[in-house]
């Protein structure tokens, strides 16, 4: 009897090893926890097409929007851990939302990092007539007028909101948060002068900067970006060393997926990221390529969670 059990176990292990070596041998799906047209959706579609070419298997996009990305992320977290369900993962539902509200999944336990793909930096913007010519002047002006000015965001707990809170904390300014339902209404009220300033993505702010409706004091990353030529980091312009923030988008799979499968996927993503047409398409979407392998991506996620946790705690940020 013992011998039969041992043989069965050996056959099961051998079958699993063969399945991993043969991976992938059928079509796959990529869950996008956002509606079509969102950044994570556009990036997911670009990556799915190129990864499918590398692996020789079709990857079907499966949009599962709702609850700030948490519904689709939960679907991916509860899928069979075999590498046939990928997730177009992003900051909100992975690094932020579980810190603000009860989630049906534990990002660290239920999801496995495959590779970070790109970053979406933010620009600090206000109207051209705001009485501060430079970023340092802007910080000094807000400090001299505590509680008198406001900042907009695309919603309480959104990445843009927390990036702004990060800036406010480092700059030591006292301002009032005005949340909106999306970046469009937030920027509309900044342009009209109803709200003093905002941190929003390069993709959403650059058209207004080029038209002269907004001006910027710098970019949120600690290095210049090809997305915003000639715009310096806020860490430099506002003299805030260590200020470095951006939304991230990457590829994850269900927790417990075999490491051999994760590594094969990561290698496929890396090959895709070296393709000039992928780099060009991602820049068109408004994101900057930032490839990180599984272990590096995992460390980055822990850093992001710790940072956002501190921002949320310090600002006493809650979703009602």
Return per-residue pLDDT of the chain as tens, 320 residues: 565 444 444 444 444 454 467 999 999 999 999 999 999 999 999 999 999 999 999 999 999 999 999 999 999 999 999 999 999 999 999 999 999 999 999 999 999 999 999 999 999 999 999 999 999 999 999 999 999 999 999 999 999 999 999 999 999 999 999 999 999 999 999 999 999 999 999 999 999 999 999 999 999 999 999 999 999 999 999 999 999 999 999 999 999 999 999 999 999 999 999 999 999 999 998 999 999 999 999 999 999 999 999 999 998 998 86
Q: What is the pTM of this model?
A: 0.89
In our burial notation (b when 16+ CB lie closer than 10 A, e otherwise), range 111-123 reads bbbbbbbbbbbbb
With beta carbons less than 8 A apart as the criterion, state whether 242 and 235 touch.
Answer: yes
User: Are residues 249 and 120 in contact, defined by beta-carbon separation less than 8 angstroms?
Assistant: yes
Domains of the chain (ranges, CATH numbers): 27-117+248-306 (3.40.190.150), 121-237 (3.40.190.10)
Q: With contact defined as beta carbons under 8 Å apart, do 69 and 92 qualify?
A: yes
- What is the predicted pLDDT for the residue at 21? 76
From the list 297, 289, 290, the residue with the least C-alpha distance to 262 is: 297
Element (H, E) at 269: helix 259-273
233 secondary structure, DSSP code: B
Distance CA 177, CA 191 (A): 16
| End-to-end Cα spacing for the chain | 59
């Amino acid at each position: 009897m013992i011998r039969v059990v041992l043989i069965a176990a050996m056959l099961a292990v051998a079958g699993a090893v063969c399945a991993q070596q043969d991976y992938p041998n059928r079509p796959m799906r990529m869950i996008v926890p956002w509606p079509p047209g969102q950044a994570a959706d556009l990036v997911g579609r670009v990556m799915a097409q190129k990864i499918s070419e590398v692996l020789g298997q079709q990857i079907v996009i499966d949009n599962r929007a709702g609850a700030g990305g948490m519904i689709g992320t939960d679907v991916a977290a509860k899928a069979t851990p075999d590498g046939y369900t990928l997730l177009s993962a992003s900051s909100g539902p992975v690094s932020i939302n579980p810190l603000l509200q009860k989630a049906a999944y534990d990002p660290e336990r239920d999801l496995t990092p495959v590779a970070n793909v790109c970053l979406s930096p933010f620009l600090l913007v206000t109207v051209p007539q705001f009485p501060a010519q430079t970023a340092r002047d802007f910080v000094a002006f807000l400090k001299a007028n505590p509680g008198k000015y406001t900042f907009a965001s695309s919603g309480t707990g959104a990445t843009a909101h927390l990036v702004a809170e990060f800036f406010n904390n480092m700059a030591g300014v006292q301002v009032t948060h005005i949340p909106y339902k999306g970046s469009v209404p937030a920027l509309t009220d900044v342009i009209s002068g109803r709200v003093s300033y905002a941190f929003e993505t390069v993709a959403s702010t650059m058209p207004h900067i080029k038209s002269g409706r907004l001006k910027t004091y710098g970019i949120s990353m600690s290095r210049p970006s090809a997305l915003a030529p000639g715009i310096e980091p806020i860490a430099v312009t506002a003299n805030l060393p260590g200020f470095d923030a951006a939304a991230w988008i990457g590829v994850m799979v269900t927790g417990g997926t075999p490491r051999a499968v994760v590594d094969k996927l990561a290698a496929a993503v890396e090959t895709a990221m070296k393709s000039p047409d992928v780099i060009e398409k991602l820049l068109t979407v408004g994101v900057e390529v930032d490839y990180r392998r599984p272990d590096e991506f995992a460390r980055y996620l822990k850093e992001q969670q710790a940072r956002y946790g501190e921002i949320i705690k310090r600002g006493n940020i809650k979703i009602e």
